[in-house]
Amino acid sequence: MTPTAPTVFVVDDDDLVRASIHGMLKSVGLRSETFGTAQEFLRSKRPDGPSCLVLDVRLPGVSGLDFQRELADAGIRIPIIFITGHADIPMTVKAMKSGAVEFLTKPFRDQDLLDAVQQALDRDRVMRQQQNELGELRKRYESLTTREREVMGMVVSGMLNKQIAFELGTSEITVKIQRGHVMRKMQADSLADLVRMAAKLELPPGGRG
């Protein structure tokens, strides 16, 4: 398997459930790793590629919902599909509000789980792509000088070159050159493109933060 091949993690304290889900995923060409407890999953070395978590709500030690919160607190962003034999409406609502992809009650149809897994993996691929793009954007921004960052902040806030020059106590020509450096280093094709980048980077107004 390549490092980017998707992996489905299954956490359920029932051996038969784990084996059944593993076999089903294997039958459609999906790689999976199974765990009996949440702690086993946390101790495992997870491959770096698209993934999702099929999680039993009732686990020994910690409930699936508590584990969902623990993962979020630890900054582990992984799409979760809950499975349970004893669902209730408040539990389902809480799980979905916290970002779960699906909440399936046992016994569920194989196709329902496969559909949910596909949706979860798609969501994770999109999230990873966005994170990669943001990381690349941050690198470009870090390549700017302090003055270029100031100029960028003022440009995206709508200020004209002469206004920026007055604000910074420099010449309009100098601002024009610095603005050109910003556009080139940020790989922005237009002002609108630069504004979008600033929004993604969540830059403070004026770029002086």
Neighbours of 179 (CB within 10 A): 19
In the prediction, which pLDDT does 205 show?
Answer: 65
In the prediction, which pLDDT does 1 show?
Answer: 43
Residue where the block lists tokens 């050159």? 177
pLDDT above 70 (res 125): yes
Mean pLDDT taken over the chain: 90
CB 138 within 8 A of CB 186: no
Residue type, 6: P
pLDDT per residue as tens digits for the range 24-62: 999 999 999 999 998 899 888 888 889 999 999 888 777
Exposure string over 95-110, b if 16+ CB within 10 A, otherwise e? beeeebbbbbeeeeee
Residue type, 147: R
3-state secondary structure of 133: helix
In the prediction, which pLDDT does 8 show?
Answer: 96
pTM exceeds 0.85: no
In the prediction, which pLDDT does 36 show?
Answer: 92
The whole-angstrom separation of Cα 173 and Cα 164 is: 11
